[in-house]
């Protein structure tokens, strides 16, 4: 019984967050998953018809197309030095932050060498649009894997978890919409339990906080 007040508090907080998630929080979203998918497919189609365009060219063109649609003030520049490793759920990949606020983040995520792990369970909807390569995913009761190829968007619903893998050379545009600060521990804990890569943790925290602060104070985006 001594833990009842704590459990009650957790329940109340969870209930309030869920109510806000379905009512108030979506009023702050600036990105639409369908629009992002259309932008990605437009750029992918261009790369399928032109020769000598690399994966890096593809990622740069995705960023530029997003900035053209949403405005340069909302989409970060494509700066090679701002790519960081990301270790979460046993998977290791690479990411660069294009936009981050309290209610949304938009990143380019992928792996040059391949990866596999747990998606995590989040208080957010996650939309993962494949740009190059493949993502394979499965729910715990699945006997056959879901396969996502370039142009397809994998929607991981709030509260669900999957096993996933990506072969080397796979990259995607990832949009998360929900309580983004609640997702951060999942992205950071592997540093303390496994990698001890404190420099990457520092850079990730700095870049995320920088973008959240800019969008909150300058762009008035929650």
pLDDT for res 18: 56
**How many alpha carbons lie under 13 Å from residue 72 in its C-beta half-sphere?**
2
**Residue of higher predicted confidence among 24 and 14:** 24
Helix ranges (H only) for the chain are 4-22, 33-49, 55-70, 184-190, 198-217
Tell me, yes or no, whether 107 lies in a domain. yes
pLDDT interval class at 126 (50, 70, 90): very high
Quick one: which of 183, 178, 184, 182 has its CA closest to 124?
178
Tell me, yes or no, whether 158 lies in a domain. yes
pLDDT for res 12: 47
We report the CATH number of the domain holding residue 42 as: 2.60.120.10
80-124 per-position pLDDT tens digit: 999 999 999 999 999 999 999 999 999 999 999 999 999 999 999
pLDDT for res 217: 80
* Residue 158 scores a pLDDT above 60: yes
pLDDT for res 17: 55
Q: What mean pLDDT comes out for the span 14-36?
A: 75
Tell me, yes or no, whether 111 lies in a domain. yes
How many domains is the chain built from? 1
pLDDT for res 8: 46
Quick one: which of 175, 98, 48 has its CA closest to 57?
48
Q: What percent of the chain has pLDDT over 70?
A: 88
Tell me, yes or no, whether 166 lies in a domain. yes
Tell me, yes or no, whether 38 lies in a domain. yes
How many other C-beta atoms can be found within 10 angstroms of the C-beta atom of residue 114? 15
Q: What mean pLDDT comes out for the span 153-168?
A: 97
Report CA Rg, the chain.
18
pLDDT for res 53: 79
Q: Which range, of 15-24, 48-57, 91-100, 145-154, averages the lowest pLDDT?
A: 15-24
* Residue 173 scores a pLDDT above 70: yes
Tell me, yes or no, whether 222 lies in a domain. no
Structural domain of 143? 4-217
pLDDT interval class at 214 (50, 70, 90): confident
**What is the model's pTM?**
0.90
Tell me, yes or no, whether 133 lies in a domain. yes
180-191 per-position pLDDT tens digit: 999 989 999 999
Tell me, yes or no, whether 163 lies in a domain. yes
* Residue 22 scores a pLDDT above 80: no
């Amino acid at each position: 019984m001594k833990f009842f007040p704590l459990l009650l508090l957790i329940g109340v907080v969870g209930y309030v967050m869920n109510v806000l998630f379905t009512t108030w929080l979506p009023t702050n979203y600036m990105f639409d998953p369908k629009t992002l998918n259309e932008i990605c497919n437009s750029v992918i189609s261009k790369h399928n018809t032109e020769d000598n365009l690399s994966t890096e060219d593809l990622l740069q063109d995705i960023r530029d197309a997003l900035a053209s649609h949403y405005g340069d003030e909302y989409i970060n520049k494509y700066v090679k030095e701002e790519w960081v490793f990301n270790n979460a759920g046993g998977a290791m990949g690479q990411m660069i932050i294009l936009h981050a606020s309290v209610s949304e983040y938009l990143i380019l995520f992928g792996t040059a060498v391949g990866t596999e792990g747990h998606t995590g369970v989040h208080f957010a909807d996650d939309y993962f649009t494949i740009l190059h390569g493949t993502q394979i995913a499965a729910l715990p009761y699945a006997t056959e894997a879901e396969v996502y190829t370039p142009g397809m968007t994998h929607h991981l619903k709030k509260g669900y978890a999957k096993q996933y893998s990506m072969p080397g050379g796979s990259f995607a545009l990832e949009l998360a919409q929900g309580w983004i600060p609640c997702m951060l521990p999942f992205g950071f804990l592997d540093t303390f339990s496994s990698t001890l890569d404190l420099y990457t943790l520092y850079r990730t925290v700095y870049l995320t906080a920088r973008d959240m602060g800019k969008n909150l104070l300058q762009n008035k985006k929650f």
